[in-house]
């Protein structure tokens, strides 16, 4: 087995998120899948049987009636993952939670709880929230601007990590004969006072077998990449072409080293939606069928609006030039929105043309017979584009095709594990256990 192996995570679709507009119509998909804990438990067990590293749950806290089916009716990530934890033993459990619309103490406690419930398998995907309407669900008139959201995110993670170090590892002797449950010298207040937060601590829960939950982040913009390089241990990368993935991978590793961190301690996952079939031709045909199933113009128009703070583009003439909405990008998905605006201007596109391009058919590299898909994964891995793949499958059948057809080939080539190395998420990702800061300071 090579010392460098591929890491695999599973991202369940439920009844269909952005871009999978027609998935809920598939007769193999239960219409309540996104709120059925049994669905997630089955997915997690299948992924664990295949030795995947993690189950990854995305989230947002704002909807309107135009949002994708999965967004309209889904379980809260930490509640969901706590239930899944009791039915699994090895697979990591990564939940998305906003640093903009949470408080550090509450969120640190919830993730620490998941870490204990799972025996050290929790991960936190840190997001700054680009759905601007979320602000109104938290008593704010406006969404925080880009710089504030990222500054808050950095400080939030720093505070959470400080709270997770409230107890040193040997803080609880629980010595009945000496009548000592806690060694008070091993309990530490945080007393953090910063630009965005003032948190006294300590946190009322001890460290887990992996020390602290693993921090994940998806950095695309300059601010996002910089935040990822400073704090992330796992990164969800945008993917794109092989060359784009290489550029992103090299850039993040370079930035990580510049912050004095070991680049090997940051695992970069690209998105992958494999389509596996008995032959290359059948897989390519199925990929095109999937695109047609999901190609709904009204949904694409609504999806376009998400990047601009759930803006309703339906109020504009579809055949007029793309409207001037640059002011909406700053508090929305700025990087994606800016690219849309630049392209619309450069190519003089109408609103209709831009909306149609949201869901343009783009062939995935990971499509074909099992051997073809395994070959491509190996090629991309060797080319320095990822440490892992965050996999999304439309149905249980599609997951089974990958697990039964592709995974054994990767194992045979020494690219994927044949057994779990650890009971913790850190252990399986090859990440070190963080040394408690107070223990380190005393040594």
Helices (H), 30-76: 37-49, 69-72
Q: Which residue has the higher pLDDT, 217 or 305?
A: 217
Does the annotation list 443 as a binding residue?
A: no
Beta strand ranges found along 58-111 (DSSP E): 92-98
Contact criterion met (CB below 8 Å) for 261 and 253: no
Contact criterion met (CB below 8 Å) for 16 and 22: yes
How far apart CA 91 and CA 99 sit, in angstroms, is: 25
Does the annotation list 138 as a binding residue?
A: no
Q: Is the pLDDT of residue 1 over 60?
A: no
Q: What is the pLDDT of residue 87?
A: 98
Does the annotation list 96 as a binding residue?
A: yes
Q: 346-372, pLDDT tens digit by residue? A: 999 999 999 988 778 888 999 999 999
Tell me the average pLDDT of the chain.
Answer: 94
Does the annotation list 296 as a binding residue?
A: no
Q: 186-238, pLDDT tens digit by residue? A: 999 999 999 999 999 999 999 999 999 999 999 788 888 999 999 999 999 98
The Cβ of residue 342 has, within 10 Å, a number of other Cβ atoms equal to: 11
Average pLDDT on 327-342 reads: 77
439's CB contacts (< 8 A; 6+ apart) are 168, 169
116's CB contacts (< 8 A; 6+ apart) are 205, 206, 208
Q: pTM for this structure?
A: 0.93
Contact criterion met (CB below 8 Å) for 104 and 156: yes
How far apart CA 27 and CA 390 sit, in angstroms, is: 25
| Domains of the chain and any CATH numbers | 7-281+365-442 (3.20.20.30), 296-358 (no CATH)
Helices (H), 261-350: 280-294, 297-306, 326-329, 334-347
146's CB contacts (< 8 A; 6+ apart) are 221, 223, 330, 331, 334
Count of residues making up the chain: 443
Q: What is the pLDDT of residue 335?
A: 73
């Amino acid at each position: 087995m090579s010392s460098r192996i591929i890491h695999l995570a599973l991202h369940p679709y439920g009844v269909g998120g952005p871009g999978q507009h027609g998935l809920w119509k598939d007769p193999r998909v239960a219409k309540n899948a996104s709120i059925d804990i049994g669905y997630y438990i089955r997915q997690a067990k299948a992924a664990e049987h295949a030795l995947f590293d993690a189950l990854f749950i995305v989230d947002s806290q704002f909807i309107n009636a135009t949002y994708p089916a999965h967004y309209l009716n889904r379980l809260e990530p930490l509640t969901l993952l706590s239930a899944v934890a009791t039915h699994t033993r090895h697979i990591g459990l990564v939940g998305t939670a906003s640093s903009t619309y949470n408080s550090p103490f509450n969120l640190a406690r919830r993730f620490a709880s998941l870490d204990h419930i799972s025996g050290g398998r929790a991960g936190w995907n840190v997001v700054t929230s680009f759905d601007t309407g979320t602000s109104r669900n938290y008593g704010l008139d406006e969404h925080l601007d880009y710089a504030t959201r990222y500054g808050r995110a950095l400080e939030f993670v720093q505070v959470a990590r400080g709270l997770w170090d409230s107890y040193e590892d040997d803080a609880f002797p629980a010595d009945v004969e000496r009548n000592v449950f806690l060694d008070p010298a091993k309990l530490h207040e945080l007393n953090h006072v910063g630009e965005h937060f003032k948190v006294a601590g300590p946190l009322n829960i001890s460290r887990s077998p992996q020390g602290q939950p693993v921090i994940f982040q998806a950095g695309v913009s300059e601010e996002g990449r910089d935040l990822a390089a400073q704090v992330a241990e796992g990164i969800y990368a945008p993917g794109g072409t092989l060359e784009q993935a290489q550029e992103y991978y090299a850039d993040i590793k370079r930035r990580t080293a510049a912050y004095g961190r070991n680049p090997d301690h940051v695992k970069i996952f690209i998105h992958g939606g494999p389509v596996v079939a008995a032959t290359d031709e059948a897989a390519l045909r199925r990929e095109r069928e999937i695109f047609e199933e999901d190609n709904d113009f009204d949904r694409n128009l609504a999806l376009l609006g998400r990047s601009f703070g759930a803006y309703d583009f339906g109020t504009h003439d579809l055949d007029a030039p793309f409207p001037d909405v640059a002011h909406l990008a700053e508090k929305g998905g700025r990087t994606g929105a800016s690219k849309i605006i630049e392209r619309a201007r450069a190519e003089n596109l109408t609103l209709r043309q831009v909306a149609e391009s949201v869901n343009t058919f783009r062939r995935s590299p990971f499509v074909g017979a099992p051997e073809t898909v395994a070959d491509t994964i190996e090629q991309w891995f060797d080319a320095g584009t990822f440490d892992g793949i965050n996999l999304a499958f439309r149905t249980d059948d599609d997951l089974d095709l990958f697990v039964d057809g592709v995974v054994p080939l990767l194992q045979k080539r020494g690219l994927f594990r044949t057994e779990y190395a650890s009971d913790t998420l850190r252990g399986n990702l090859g990440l070190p256990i963080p040394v408690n800061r107070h223990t380190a300071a005393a040594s």
